[in-house]
Structure 1
Amino acid sequence: MSFAPQKKQSYGADPNSIRESDKYTTEYVRGFVEKWDELIDWEERANSEGRFFIDVLKARQKQSVLDVATGTGFHSVQLLKAGFDVSSADGSAEMLAKAFENGVAHEVVLKTVHADWRWLNKDIHGKYDAIICLGNSFTHLHDEDDRRRALAEFYAALKHDGILIIDQRNYDTILDHGFSSKHKYYYCGNQVSAKPVYVDDGLARFEYSFPDGSKHNLNMFPLRKSYMRGLLRDAGFQKIHSYGDFQEEGEEKDPDFFIHVVEKEFCNE
């Protein structure tokens, strides 16, 4: 029996020039996907974020959730186990296959769909109480038109009182002061290094180094927090509440990640 050789990442002669949204489809090669959970460390990730997303959704009485950046399935599995009705989408077929495999290992069956955010409503059906877009995934979109189109698709896929939970790295600090990360909450694998090897206003090229000596890269757009919040307002969302590393703004000094909880309908608290 013969096996086809695994594909390798390819960025050409000048990796820093690759700034297209469609590149993500070839970045997540099988060898990288198979190592992704070493970077996350599911057990440590669950301990670090606790019930944050579960509590946010339950406090707003949301039940149906579309996980549009499923990755290897961590949040889909956590929410399914907490009793939510979850659909799991991703633009990477390799990631979806791994997510389904991880779901089976955790005794849940994921409802998966291969979908590009820019044409999301072509591939998913119905309206959802909530959409989650986590893991710094939105920064795969390098073009502003793509970002605006994706947010419009998210908005359209939500019920009238739906919410979007979307996160991003703290690129403000990376751009203004350089990179330093506690890796306390998101990427918890203590044997894996994740750091930018090149940064400018239009590109953050991250390198992921694993214990076996292998290295993989992702080219992402460094979203500033105020810019991201402006995009969300322009998309029609009425209320934006931002957190830093799961803490209220100001409680966590210089967080690694921002998490935006965004409501489609304005409601007085």
Structure 2
Amino acid sequence: MQERQDFYRNLSEEYDLMVDWPSRLSRELPFLTGVLQKQAGKKVIDAACGTGNHGLALAELGWEVTGTDASPEMVAIASTRAERWPNLKFYQLRLGELARQFGEEKFDALLCLGNSLPHVLERLQLEQTIGDFALVLKSGGVAVVQLLNYQRIFSEAERFLAPVSRKTQEGERLFLRFYDFLPENYLDFNLVVLRQQGGTWQQQVETTRLRGWLARELLPVFRSQGFTRIELYGDYQGKPYQELKAKDLIIVAYKVDGEEMTK
């Protein structure tokens, strides 16, 4: 079992091949921009940004985007995309390290997408991560956090995700993803990459540990860190969250500072 950073280091070159980014962005951006447009400012931080596709799309639409990720390989790929966009920059930072890097600089909105929060494995670490989100947001700022709906996944014992097939010049690529369920809502996320080269197939197997955080565990943590108005959605179409039916758990949480809460 690997650390998250090692897991994505080993997959960085093919990560974008595995994801159908045009389809994904067309599905997710209307929801995200709908939230962001309600904010007074245009400064967005994308935590656990991967190869920077959301940041690039938002920069093209006029937002000032800062992306962060723990993987230096992912950040290097993202940074090549930022070269012609002065309103887009990337840093290598883990979740929980944002305020230390940016100090007094504050953002209007924070994104943490792509099921990234389950890489935070322990309750104390979760509190520190959500607290760090709050520290880099302006008063009234919004955090949009997406993860899979593990309440449904655990209830249905949904172990296998849909396989992904891609054609390349070298041959076909198959991405097979599945979970090993562990006690206390931990999971091992396994990814098998099959590469066709000539008449043969080669395989690569990668595994990383996740924590399947549930809505009832996350909401008290967000509230304790100053997010007093919280909305839950079950997908990027904006459907209300239903714990046994929704595909996603999308948390839209607004920060209100203590002194403002007393007004």
Q: Choose 151-160 or 109-118, whichever is displaced more.
A: 109-118
| 1:256, distance to aligned residue in structure 2 (A) | 2.2
Provide the C-alpha distance between the structure 2 equivalents of 1:45 and 1:181, rounded to a whole number of angstroms. 20
Contact 2:241 2:249 in 1 (8 A): no
- The yes-or-no answer on 1:243 pairing with 2:233 is yes
Provide the C-alpha distance between the structure 1 equivalents of 2:221 and 2:242, rounded to a whole number of angstroms. 25
Query: Tell me, which stretches of 5 or more residues in structure 2 are unaligned?
Result: 167-173, 196-202
Contact 2:16 2:51 in 1 (8 A): yes
The SS at the match of 2:213 is coil
- The yes-or-no answer on 1:97 pairing with 2:76 is yes
- The residue that corresponds to 2:147 in the other structure is 168
- The residue that corresponds to 1:15 in the other structure is none
Counterpart residue type for residue 254 of structure 2:
E
- The yes-or-no answer on 1:72 pairing with 2:63 is no
- The residue that corresponds to 2:36 in the other structure is 57
- The yes-or-no answer on 1:204 pairing with 2:187 is yes
| Percent of residue pairs bearing the same amino acid type | 24
Q: Structure 1 pair 181/252, CA: closer, same or farther in 2 (3 Å)? A: farther
| 1:103, distance to aligned residue in structure 2 (A) | 4.2
Contact 1:175 1:199 in 2 (8 A): no
- The residue that corresponds to 2:250 in the other structure is 259
The SS at the match of 1:59 is coil
The SS at the match of 1:139 is helix
Q: How many residues align?
A: 241
CA RMSD of the aligned region, Å? 2.6
TM-score normalised by L of structure 2:
0.82
Provide the C-alpha distance between the structure 2 equivalents of 1:43 and 1:79, rounded to a whole number of angstroms. 14
Counterparts of 1:131-210 in structure 2, within 5 Å, are: 131-179=110-158, 191-210=174-193
Counterpart residue type for residue 133 of structure 1:
C
Contact 1:181 1:256 in 2 (8 A): no
The Cα offsets for residues 89-110 of structure 1, whole Å up to 9 and x where unpaired, read as 1122121112223445xx5464
Q: Structure 1 pair 232/100, CA: closer, same or farther in 2 (3 Å)? A: same
Between Structure 1 and Structure 2, the one with more strand by share is 2
TM-score normalised by L of structure 1:
0.80
Contact 1:163 1:261 in 2 (8 A): yes
Query: Tell me, which stretches of 5 or more residues in structure 1 are unaligned?
Result: 1-10, 12-17
- The residue that corresponds to 1:6 in the other structure is none
- The yes-or-no answer on 1:120 pairing with 2:90 is no
- The residue that corresponds to 1:26 in the other structure is 6
Contact 2:42 2:63 in 1 (8 A): yes
Q: Which runs of 4+ in 1 moved over 4 A?
A: 180-183, 187-191, 250-253
The Cα offsets for residues 74-122 of structure 1, whole Å up to 9 and x where unpaired, read as 1111111111000111122121112223445xx5464111222323211
Q: Structure 1 pair 116/252, CA: closer, same or farther in 2 (3 Å)? A: closer
Q: Structure 1 pair 199/27, CA: closer, same or farther in 2 (3 Å)? A: same
Contact 2:151 2:243 in 1 (8 A): no
The SS at the match of 1:248 is coil
Q: Structure 1 pair 257/57, CA: closer, same or farther in 2 (3 Å)? A: same
Contact 1:239 1:263 in 2 (8 A): yes
Counterpart residue type for residue 112 of structure 1:
F
| 1:42, distance to aligned residue in structure 2 (A) | 1.0
The Cα offsets for residues 22-71 of structure 1, whole Å up to 9 and x where unpaired, read as x3233222x31111112222112123324211121013344100111111
Q: Structure 1 pair 75/173, CA: closer, same or farther in 2 (3 Å)? A: same
Contact 1:245 1:252 in 2 (8 A): no
Contact 1:38 1:192 in 2 (8 A): no
Provide the C-alpha distance between the structure 1 equivalents of 2:191 and 2:152, rounded to a whole number of angstroms. 20
Provide the C-alpha distance between the structure 1 equivalents of 2:192 and 2:246, rounded to a whole number of angstroms. 22
